[in-house]
Amino acid sequence: MTVRTVAMLTAGGLAPCLSSAVGGLIERYTEVAPDVRIIAYRNGYAGLLTGDSVEVTDEVRAQAHLLHRFGGSPIGNSRVKLTNVEDCAKRGLVREGQDPLHVAAEQLERDGVDVLHTIGGDDTNGTAADLAAYLHENDYELTVVGLPKTIDNDIIPIRQSLGAWTAAEQGAVFARNIIAEHTSNPRMLIVHEVMGRHCGWLAAATAREHHEWVKAQEWSGWLENDARRWDVHGVYVPERPFDIAAEAKRLRAVMDEYDCVNLFLSEGAGVHEVVEAMEAAGEEVTRDPFGHVQIDKINPGQWFAKQFAAQLGAEKVLVQKSGYFSRSAASNEADLTLIKRCTDHAVDAALRGESGVVGQDEERGDELRAVEFDRIKGGKAFDTSTAWFTELLADLGQA
């Protein structure tokens, strides 16, 4: 297959890898196939549907290395599902009666695109799979190569999503300042709500990062400047049910001794219970175009804080969310290394005409490869038997 024009887009929520992944793709094409034309669709699939694209000029190619220094996406994002016809029409991305898959296919054909790179999570790459299948069925062959972006690290069967390590690191940076707030009031309950709809990996990894930071500091031990007051006292993830009454009893002892309790909560923990309670009360539960509950609208952190506050005898309660802070950061060194490996492989796979989502395939011995689209799924559960997590809980005294 001769590749003449390559297109790319980023979609879904932000992650600390989008800017670097875009830069990495441009750098690799410039290195191995400099004559290939590159365009970028602005604002994800919305730009594809409306034909809003920009050319990657020689000037952009020369400055692509600078994109590794930034968070966000240089080409914009959106949440658009091409098979959700009603939503696409409602947002003015297609006209009534149009099939968004057909509109996208026609746009790609007009633009002469041979390869489409999608950088996103399971929804983004699932949409890419729908598009690739539609194009194949209609005799327009297109190589689609995705890159796995989720801060939750929850894509099956990808070992490590791009940006997740950075998100955990940045969530811990956020936690340092938030937990300092325990000195502002006696009997303080702090709930640090971490992103993670179905998977608790990010909450667990963020808690570990903060716990390791606490262990590495020199503390005076005088009054509030004490490691035990600054540490994590509880970590709650969707994959690990817990007894609220039992935990309240344990944490009451922590509150009585240290005058504060610091909890790390995955936003997906307890969502089922919160949604049930809202629906039973006749309240509307808002969902996005993919059918997911909009977690920011139901505030699981507030719900958990309410369950614990009275039982702990908390005088003041603070609930803070690190998601937007951590997901918009620039990639750290670990992620930059992984992004470089994945973008290089993605370009090489594209030039071979090999479609899929590039990542370490857990079901193939962690081999870095283009994983078949029909094997890509979201909602990978965090393995709570992982050694570093069980060691963390043991350190915290959480059964």
**Which pLDDT score, from 0 to 100, does residue 269 have?**
85
pLDDT in tens, 274-294: 777 677 778 777 777 767 777
Q: What is the DSSP string of 54-92?
A: EE--HHHHHHGGGGGG--S-TT------TT-HHHHHHTT
C-alpha neighbours within 13 Å on the C-beta side of residue 328? 9
Lowest mean pLDDT among 51-55, 131-135, 170-174, 337-341: 131-135
- Separation between Cα atoms, residue 118 and residue 104, nearest integer Å: 14
pLDDT at residue number 121: 86
Average pLDDT score, the chain: 93
Question: What is the pTM (predicted TM-score) of this model?
Answer: 0.92
DSSP 182: G
Q: Please state the rounded mean pLDDT for residues 153-162.
A: 96
Which has the closest alpha carbon to 168: 328, 378, 326, 382?
326
Looking at residue 303, its pLDDT comes to: 83
Mean pLDDT (whole number) for 232-249: 92
Per-residue pLDDT at 209 exceeds 80: yes
Q: Which residues are catalytic?
A: 152
Arithmetic mean of pLDDT, 362-391 = 95
How far is it, in rounded angstroms, from Cα 264 to Cα 213? Answer: 15
Q: Please report the pLDDT score of residue 287 as a whole number.
A: 78
Output 379 or 23, whichever has higher pLDDT: 23
Distance CA 229, CA 212 (A): 14
**Which pLDDT tens digit goes with each residue over 88-119?**
999 999 999 999 999 999 999 999 999 999 99
Mean pLDDT calculated for residue range 353-357: 95
Q: Does the pLDDT value for residue 298 go beyond 80?
A: no
Taking Cα atoms as reference points, which of 271, 270, 305 lies closest to residue 285?
271
pLDDT given at position 296? 66
C-beta separation of 267 from 197 below 8 A: yes
Mean pLDDT of 61-68: 98
Q: How confident is the model at residue 324 (pLDDT cuts 50, 70, 90)?
A: very high
Task: Reduce the secondary structure of 358-376 to three states and give it as a string.
Answer: EEEEHHHCCEEEEECHHHC
Of 4, 18, 15, 8, the C-alpha closest to 56 is 8
| Rounded to 5°, angle at Cα 314 from 310 and 318 | 110
Residue 241's pLDDT is 83
User: C-alpha distances in angstroms, 183 versus 190, 229, 321, 385?
Assistant: 11, 9, 19, 34
Q: Residue 15 belongs to what H/E stretch? A: none
Is a pLDDT exceeding 90 seen at residue 178? yes
User: For residue 273, what pLDDT is reported?
Assistant: 67
Minimal CA–CA distance to 228: which of 253, 193, 249?
253
Instruction: Quote the CA–CA distance of 201 and 152 in Å, as a whole number.
Output: 6
Cβ-contact 356, 181 below 8 angstroms = no
pLDDT at 270 over 70: no
In our burial notation (b when 16+ CB lie closer than 10 A, e otherwise), range 229-242 reads bbbbbbbbbbbbee
Q: Percent helix, strand, coil in the chain (nearest 5)? A: 50, 15, 35
pLDDT of 327 above 80: yes
Lowest-pLDDT choice from 45-54, 161-170, 196-205: 196-205
